[in-house]
């Protein structure tokens, strides 16, 4: 592999004013440790505030998480709670917009959504989605546009898409 003719820096000038992205992510009953590790990696890359791991969602130290997190489980703030409801209530009381990332009848398109920072993104079980009791607490439901035959993405892939769209929107606010 050839070396790049320039130095790659951690963040370009366009990101200098962003100390961190005012976004938290809550994973409820995400069963794949590899998906959890991927969220750690994305969270580190985008500078999220915290990762909340709820229900059966695995938490460090676990080999499956470490395999995909590549050390980011040490750089991203996280906590585990068996019940996501009190966590969401606490975040709501602290002024977070609670955004369920899921296709529902009243979901807004990700690219049309105007988030109110700080935001907490909620992702649910890979097959069953977000539990109705959590979904009801959310201020917003956000869907990723799907143009192909499939109607969903892998949860970790969806997380990356939404987190980076929020980074783009937050960066625009900071200009």
pLDDT greater than 50 at residue 6? no
pLDDT greater than 90 at residue 8? no
Query: What is the C-alpha radius of gyration for the chain, rounded to an integer number of angstroms?
Result: 16
Instruction: Set out the domains of the chain in order of their start, with CATH numbers.
Output: 33-174 (3.40.1280.10)
Among 16-25, 82-91, 149-158, whose mean pLDDT is lowest? 16-25
Letter string b/e over residues 4-39, b meaning 16 or more CB atoms within 10 A of that residue's CB: eeeeeeeeeeeeeebeebbbbbbbbbbbbbebbbbb
pLDDT, mean over the chain: 91
pLDDT tens figures, 67-103? 999 999 999 999 999 999 999 999 999 999 999 999 8
pLDDT given for residue 7 in this prediction: 47
Q: How far apart are CA 142 and CA 25, in angstroms?
A: 14
Across residues 25-35, what is the average pLDDT?
A: 97
Closest CA to 171 of 9, 43, 45, 19: 19
pLDDT given for residue 66 in this prediction: 96
* Cβ-based neighbours of 162, under 8 Å, separated by 6 or more: 101, 110, 121, 142, 144
pLDDT given for residue 152 in this prediction: 83
pLDDT greater than 70 at residue 21? yes
* Sheet strands side by side (includes 119-123): 78-81, 50-54, 23-28, 119-123, 97-101, 140-143, 108-109
Q: Give SS3 for 157.
A: helix
Percent of the chain clearing pLDDT 70 (strictly above): 90
Question: What are 85's two structure tokens?
Answer: 């409801």
Across residues 140-162, what is the average pLDDT?
A: 93
The predicted model scores a pTM of 0.90
pLDDT given for residue 20 in this prediction: 87
């Amino acid at each position: 592999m050839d070396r790049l003719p320039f130095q790659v820096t951690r963040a370009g000038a366009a990101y200098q004013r962003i100390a961190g992205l005012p976004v938290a992510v809550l994973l409820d009953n995400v069963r794949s440790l590899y998906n959890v590790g991927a969220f750690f990696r994305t969270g580190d890359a985008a500078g999220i505030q915290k990762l909340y791991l709820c229900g059966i969602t695995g938490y460090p130290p676990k080999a499956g998480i470490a395999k995909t997190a590549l050390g980011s489980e040490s750089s991203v703030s996280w906590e585990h709670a068996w019940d996501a409801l009190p966590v969401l209530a606490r975040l709501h009381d602290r002024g977070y917009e609670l955004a369920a990332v899921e296709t529902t009848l009243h979901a807004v398109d990700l690219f049309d959504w105007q988030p109110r920072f700080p935001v907490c993104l909620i992702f649910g079980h890979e097959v069953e989605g977000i539990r109705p009791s959590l979904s009801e607490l959310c201020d917003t439901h956000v869907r990723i546009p799907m143009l192909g035959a499939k109607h969903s993405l892998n949860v970790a892939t969806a997380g990356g898409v939404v987190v980076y769209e929020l980074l783009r929107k937050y960066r625009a606010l900071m200009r």
